[in-house]
Structure 1
Amino acid sequence: MRQLYTLLWCLALPLVLARLWWRGRKEPGYRLHWPERLGFYGARGAGGHTLWVHAVSVGETRAAEPLIDALLLAYPDSRIVLTHMTPTGRATGRALFAKHGERLVQAYLPYDIPFMIRRFIGHFAPRICILMETEVWPNLIAVCGDRVPVALVNARLSARSLRRGRRFGSLMTDAAKALALVAAQTEQDAARVRELGAPRVEVTGSIKFDVVVPQAALTMGAWLRGRIGQRAVLLCASTRDGEEALILDACATLLALPGHPLLLLVPRHPQRFDEVAALVALRGLSLQRRSALVERPVTAQVLLGDSMGEMFGYYAACDIAFIGGSLLPLGGQNLIEACALGKPVLTGPHTFNFELVTQQAIAAGGAVCVADATELVTKTRQLLVDDAARKGMGEHAAAFAERHRGATARTVGLLRHMIF
């Protein structure tokens, strides 16, 4: 099965590279560092023993921050090579980890073809491979074999992903069986990973609860709030294709009221910024872009969050946070950051990728599930006129986030025997 998988990768590689070039029209980052995607890297450089962490994109990279900080503190003679698959993930890592200087090296993970993975391992000589959340690459795990133990940490696996994994038969079960350690976010995630055959699965909780809000993000949030003034702010964060139209249509009457709230709309994917701006214009709503604010006040009905790496700042500036990816059956997004900043959280009904943490936040009184965009606006109105309810939800959200901290220390403790 793995031989067929490798053959398909080799046959598809020209198309994959062509798609990269095509995506580079809107995201120039996709046209950079191509040799790395094929397993070719520059000079190795100094840095002692190498620990390898793979975080595919933005969310995983931000989630890896407390783990990377803890590993570099625990192993002062080591460096980390942090790999990604997307330019947005790489840019996020560059912003987050510049503080570590040469102790952290970024690179793209080569495609999952054995000789490319071997080139990567030969170049960096990692002591361990730490995969974040859902990244299970069959050839990578097989090539690492006994030489480089592979751990899947902050692991999550939805019922839908488990069904998809089973369709690949031995390809995924063999990969799961070869994992030296799985540190799962929840008991449900752990049970599903065990069903795939992973031999050692521990429940550590979510590392995302341990993320420290950067002071720079709080400063940016205060600056943005100063540009907005006294108006209330509904943040719709990490929205996906199809959701913005629903939100804009539902918010039409709300945004037409005197002293209307500001709709702060932050699409998850940067290549869609212009598309979402066009949706706003099509409805005759006034729009400003975060990238063009400088020192001007925000007077428009909609502010488009067309920037990268500022989500904490957007959360800091808002009064109510809606978490996107949940109005349509897309699985939802992480609500922990909004909770950590003490914001009342709204989410749609489709949160299967973050099912338990969403249910826990709702049970704690820090979040509310709305059925659709119309109910999103209704609930927003209720909270905006009820200061006590809004403040109480925010306090419950912050308490919920604080109670679940500690996964990073538990994860580092499990990894300790695998590193040296």
Structure 2
Amino acid sequence: MTTGIPQSERYLRLLYSLLAYLAVPAVMGRLLVRGVKAPGYRRRWRERFGFPPFEPQTGAIWVHAVSVGEVQAAVPLIRGFLERYPRRTVVVTTTTPTGSDRVKALLGDSVCHSYLPYDLPGAVRRFLQRVDPALAVVMETELWPNLFAACHARAVPLMVVNARLSPRSFRGYRKLRPIITGPLHRAALILTQTEADAERFRALGAPVERVRTAGNLKFDQRLPEGVVEEGRGLRQGWGEERPVWVAASTHEGEEEQVVRAHRQLLTDFPEALLVLVPRHPERFGVAARVVEDAGFPVCRRSGGCQPSESAIYLADTMGELPCLFAAADVAFVGGSLVPTGGHNLLEPAALGLPVVTGPHLFNFHEISALLLEQGGALQVHSGAELGETVSHLFGDPARREPMGRKAREAVVANRGARERILESADRWLANGS
């Protein structure tokens, strides 16, 4: 037993594994239900039980990123591995179909992709036998007891990178400390986004000497090539003189507030265009009904509609958010007017847009605090306040443009996590590059 892990951890993990096996029917049922709206959840089930769809590997670099946000953050790091270790295969796992789609769109055939197996001893063992990783890299806070134990048993060094632990998550994990202690001790290195995150990991029981602060990979994301030009082309088609704002990554309960906010600002800016971008594909139809119920015609990007004469443009496609931001004057980032915890503010900030966000930001506390402090973002507390704030920004270029510049400067000043993580990985990979 690894020093620092309670003797009872083995028995707790046996109990955890039993409960995990018993939960499989319910989990599969949930996939079927989710698959009604998102068919991707009904496919590729073999991968979730440890049968990846590629040939056996030797000495791969394995990176796990749960869904779209983690994939976006991991891409600079993955590309760094591909450049630094060209003779090694990079395997990327995700949990969601949308994450899988982003891997394919951003990395194509340069990596092997599979869903992460369920945290069942047999599934994890089969997966690791097929991948045979020289290094495992887990993004953010995925602390799976059987996965970490299996990597430890095979002497696979496992790094947790871009690790974050909000005060809310810390309170939840603290209740599970007896079962979480094992994964924390089996991680070879935990590289956190901030020193506050590092202190929380140490407080949970992670070995002090294996926890370091490396910064946030999200600052290292580079804009897609040609995105500014693509955004400029979109804007020409929409009308260069009309004010445009994007409401991105909206959730249930937010579309209604955003549409009401847009109706409110149309009083002062009757030509204004709202580009509405729901977070999940299964919400595209719901958002269309919200727009229609509010009395606006539904102009859907997937149908080829051009919003030259529409007040609201429903962006019901995937992977186009950067160019939509590049075509806008102001960005609102959702998941923040409802208690979802917010989404990444850095993408519009990197494009030099003033960013507006709601009050629920516990998933992105440090990033939002930085942008608010640097003057690159504004926080609102209701849909009505959102409408007022966007209207004020539309009407005051002397305030709007410096806000966007400060947002971009904050992003540039905080880059560097990618190189620090790659340098840390060298100790396990350099001899076999």
TM-score strictly above 0.5: yes
The answer to whether the aligner puts 1:26 opposite 2:37 as a matched pair is yes
Q: Aligned to 2:200, which of 192, 195, 203? A: 192
Q: Distance in 1 between matches of 2:336 and 2:53?
A: 42
Q: For 1:282, give the aligned amino acid.
A: D
Percent identity of equivalent pairs: 44
Q: Distance in 1 between matches of 2:325 and 2:142?
A: 27
Determine the structure 2 residue equivalent to 1:350. Answer: 360
Q: Distance in 1 between matches of 2:199 and 2:384?
A: 36
Cα displacement string for residues 92-124 of structure 1 (whole angstroms, at most 9, x for unaligned residues)? 0000002xx3x4100011100011000000011
Determine the structure 2 residue equivalent to 1:280. Answer: 291
Report if aligned partners of 1:217, 1:310 keep a CA contact under 8 Å in 2.
no
Cα displacement string for residues 237-282 of structure 1 (whole angstroms, at most 9, x for unaligned residues)? 1111111112222332323556331111111111111011111111
User: How much does 1:167 deviate?
Assistant: 1.4
Q: Distance in 2 between matches of 1:202 and 1:258?
A: 49
Secondary structure of 1:129's counterpart equals strand
Secondary structure of 1:24's counterpart equals helix
Determine the structure 1 residue equivalent to 2:7. Answer: none
Determine the structure 2 residue equivalent to 1:314. Answer: 324
Determine the structure 1 residue equivalent to 2:133. Answer: 126
Matches within 5 A, 1:303-342: 303-342=313-352
Q: Aligned to 2:184, which of 170, 176, 190? A: 176
Residues 108, 358 of structure 1: CA spacing in aligned structure 2 closer, same or farther, 3 A cutoff? same
Determine the structure 1 residue equivalent to 2:244. Answer: 233
Which TM-score applies when normalising by structure 2?
0.92
Q: For 1:145, give the aligned amino acid.
A: H
User: How much does 1:166 deviate?
Assistant: 1.2
Report if aligned partners of 1:220, 1:313 keep a CA contact under 8 Å in 2.
yes
The answer to whether the aligner puts 1:206 opposite 2:188 as a matched pair is no
Q: For 2:70, give the aligned amino acid.
A: E
Matches within 5 A, 1:213-292: 213-229=223-239, 230-255=241-266, 259-292=270-303
User: How much does 1:208 deviate?
Assistant: 1.0
User: How much does 1:17 deviate?
Assistant: 1.2
Which contiguous aligned blocks of 4+ residues in structure 1 show a shift greater than 6 angstroms? none
Secondary structure of 2:249's counterpart equals strand
Determine the structure 2 residue equivalent to 1:167. Answer: 175
The answer to whether the aligner puts 1:140 opposite 2:150 as a matched pair is no
| CA RMSD in angstroms, aligned pairs only | 1.5
Report if aligned partners of 1:49, 1:77 keep a CA contact under 8 Å in 2.
no
Secondary structure of 1:265's counterpart equals strand
Residues 119, 251 of structure 1: CA spacing in aligned structure 2 closer, same or farther, 3 A cutoff? same
Residues 388, 349 of structure 1: CA spacing in aligned structure 2 closer, same or farther, 3 A cutoff? same
Cα displacement string for residues 383-415 of structure 1 (whole angstroms, at most 9, x for unaligned residues)? 111111111101111111110111100111112
Cα displacement string for residues 4-41 of structure 1 (whole angstroms, at most 9, x for unaligned residues)? 22111111111211221221121111122111111123
Cα displacement string for residues 127-186 of structure 1 (whole angstroms, at most 9, x for unaligned residues)? 111001121211111111151111110111100001111111311122112211111111
Determine the structure 2 residue equivalent to 1:415. Answer: 425
Secondary structure of 1:95's counterpart equals helix
Q: Aligned to 1:77, which of 76, 84, 87? A: 87
Q: Distance in 2 between matches of 1:80 and 1:307?
A: 28
Q: For 1:398, give the aligned amino acid.
A: R
**What are structure 2's unaligned runs of at least 5 residues?**
1-11
Determine the structure 2 residue equivalent to 1:149. Answer: 157
Which TM-score applies when normalising by structure 1?
0.95
Q: Distance in 1 between matches of 2:167 and 2:93?
A: 27
Cα displacement string for residues 343-390 of structure 1 (whole angstroms, at most 9, x for unaligned residues)? 000111111111111111111111111122111111111111111111
Q: Distance in 2 between matches of 1:83 and 1:239?
A: 25
User: How much does 1:221 deviate?
Assistant: 2.0
Secondary structure of 1:127's counterpart equals strand
Report if aligned partners of 2:329, 2:353 keep a CA contact under 8 Å in 1.
yes
Cα displacement string for residues 289-318 of structure 1 (whole angstroms, at most 9, x for unaligned residues)? 111226x35321111111111111111111
Q: Distance in 2 between matches of 1:359 and 1:20?
A: 36
Determine the structure 1 residue equivalent to 2:13. Answer: 2
Q: Distance in 1 between matches of 2:47 and 2:149?
A: 20
Q: Between Structure 1 and Structure 2, how many residues are aligned? A: 415
Secondary structure of 1:410's counterpart equals helix
